[in-house]
């Protein structure tokens, strides 16, 4: 019963959000677009990194690959096919990366994923310089902000659905076991590597698609634009703020943080970075497990 109610509510929220661009000014559509992008990124990131506790900084590697795929292919084939290609390339890349690295653990994994983003960026640059002799590609697709927003919204809904389904399945249970203790999980019969790989691939494919969908918004794509490491850090901090272990955690983190960034850049354009740094410190000290966990703690404390 409760699940049904939640689904009805979520569907209603989705409809309201989808209709919103028809009534609000373009700027707010832009804000919703950016927000939905980060909600999707953070949810996809948490899908893998939350339960397994493997902190990945490779978000922008996949995001950028998605955007670049669109830049390269947008004139060669119809748009839906381009998106499919982007998803395919993201999936293949995640498989290669996952197979070769998911045996790494802890800080080694963090460092590797950070390096991966830079590696992919340099590879793309090298390819463009030495093979195609172009730097900077144009994406002329007839999309306005709201078209991109609708695509992102659909992707966000699908991502949350996938995340929910995983949480309820045996896979989710296995994942939790892996997160708690990999060795114990392996002894209990969980195929640790396979599960990690599967989750990593799903998460990376969604992230690739976010990049692909957002690319037409910038018209002009070059490595320094799409492989901007800030994307990785923002995703991470948003997921952590909300709580990476929960279904709605990344959303609860991404929405207020995104609005806060927007407000900061409007009101304090010259002090943005300083205020941002202070905020991060505050989040880590006050709510290390995320807003949702903190709320729960407070409520339990109140009852007791």
Partner 1 sequence: MKHSIAEAARAARRLTTCATAAVLAVMVGTSGLEAQERDKVTIGYAVSKSGPNAGGADMTVTPNYELWVEEVNAAGGLKLPDGSQLPIEVIAYDDRSSAEEVVRAVERLATQDEVDFILPPWGTGFNLAVAPLMAKFGYPHLAGAAVTDKASDFVKRWDSSFWFMGGSADYVNALTEILIAEREAGRINDKIAMISVADGFGIDLVKAARPSFEGAGFDVSYDKTFPPGTSDFATILNEADNSGADSFVAFSYPPHTFGLTKQAKVASYNPPVFYLGVGAGFPVYPKIAGGSVEGVMSLGGIDPDNELNAAYRAKHEDVVGRAPDYWGSVLIYASLQMLGQAVERVGLDKAAVAGELSTGTFSTVLGAETRLENNQLRAINWVGQWQDGQFVAVSAQGGDGMAAVKLPKPGWE
Interacting residues toward partner 1 by CB under 8 A: 2-3, 5-6, 9-10, 13, 16, 24-28, 30-31, 34, 122, 125-126, 128-130, 133-136, 138, 140, 144-145, 164, 167-168, 214, 217-220, 222, 224-226, 228, 230, 246-248, 251-252, 255, 262, 265-266, 269-270, 272-273, 292
Per DSSP, the three-state class of 55 is coil
Between CA 248 and CA 271 the distance in angstroms is 31
In the complex, minimum distance from the CB of residue 93 to partner 1, in angstroms, rounded to a whole number:
22
By C-beta, is 98 or 145 nearer to partner 1?
Answer: 145
Question: Considering the complex, what minimum distance in angstroms separates the CB of residue 96 from partner 1?
Answer: 24
Please list the residues that pair with 220 across neighbouring strands: 138
Give residues with Cβ within 8 angstroms of 102, minimum separation 6. Answer: 54, 109, 193, 196, 197, 200
Kindly tell me which of 133 and 285 has the beta carbon lying closer to partner 1. Answer: 133
* CB nearer partner 1, residue 63 or residue 109: 63
- Cα 15 to Cα 36: distance, rounded to the nearest angstrom: 14
State the DSSP code for 131: I
The DSSP annotation for 223-244 comes to: HHHHS-THHHHHHHHHHHHH-T
* CB nearer partner 1, residue 94 or residue 174: 174
> Based on CB atoms, which residue is closest to partner 1, 90 or 290?
290
Residues of 97-106 as b/e, b for ≥16 C-beta within 10 angstroms?
Answer: bbeebbeeee
Six-digit token string for 108: 């080694």
Minimum distance of partner 1 from residue 186's CB (angstroms): 25
161 closest CA partner among 7, 8, 17: 7
Least distance to partner 1, CB of residue 183, Å: 26
Residue closer to partner 1, measured from CB, 104 or 229: 229
278: left (phi over 0), alpha (psi -120 to 50) or beta: alpha
Nearer to partner 1 by C-beta: 176 or 186?
Answer: 176
Q: Across-strand partners of 138? A: 220
User: Minimum Å distance from CB 262 to partner 1?
Assistant: 8
Choose between 108 and 127: whose C-beta lies nearer to partner 1: 127
**Cα angle at 197 between 202 and 123, to 5 degrees?**
80
Nearest approach, Cβ of 255 to partner 1 (angstroms)?
A: 6
Exposure b/e, 250-266, CB count within 10 A at least 16 = b: bbbbbbebbeebeebee
Shortest distance, CB of residue 48 to partner 1, whole angstroms? 19
Give least dist CB 190 to partner 1, A: 20
């Amino acid at each position: 019963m409760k699940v049904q109610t939640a689904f009805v509510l979520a569907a209603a929220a989705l409809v309201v959000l989808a209709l919103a661009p028809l009534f609000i000014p373009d700027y707010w559509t832009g804000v919703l677009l950016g927000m939905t992008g980060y909600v999707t990124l953070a949810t996809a990131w948490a899908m893998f990194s939350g339960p397994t506790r493997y902190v990945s900084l490779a978000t922008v590697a996949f995001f950028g690959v998605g955007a670049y795929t669109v830049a390269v292919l947008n004139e060669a084939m119809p748009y839906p096919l381009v998106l499919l290609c982007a998803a395919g390339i993201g999936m293949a890349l995640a498989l290669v990366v996952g197979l070769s690295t998911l045996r790494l653990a802890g800080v080694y994994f963090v460092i590797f994923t950070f390096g991966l983003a830079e590696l992919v960026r340099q590879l793309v640059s090298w390819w463009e310089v030495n093979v195609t002799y172009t730097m900077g590609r144009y994406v002329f697709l007839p999309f306005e902000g709201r078209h991109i927003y609708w695509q992102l919204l659909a992707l966000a809904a699908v991502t949350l659905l996938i995340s929910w389904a995983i949480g309820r399945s045996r896979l989710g249970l296995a994942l939790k076991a892996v997160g708690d203790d990999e060795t114990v999980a392996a002894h209990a019969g969980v195929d640790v590597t396979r599960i990690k790989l599967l989750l990593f691939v799903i998460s990376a494919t969604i992230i690739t698609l976010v990049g692909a969908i957002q690319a037409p918004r910038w018209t002009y794509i070059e490595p320094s634009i799409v492989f901007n490491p800030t994307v990785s850090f923002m995703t991470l901090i948003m997921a952590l703020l909300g709580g990476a272990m929960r279904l709605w955690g990344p959303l609860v983190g991404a929405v207020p943080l995104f609005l806060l960034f927007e407000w900061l850049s409007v009101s304090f354009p010259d002090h943005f970075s300083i205020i941002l740094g202070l905020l991060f410190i505050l989040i880590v000290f006050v709510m290390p497990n995320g807003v949702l966990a903190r709320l729960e703690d407070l409520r339990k404390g109140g009852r007791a």
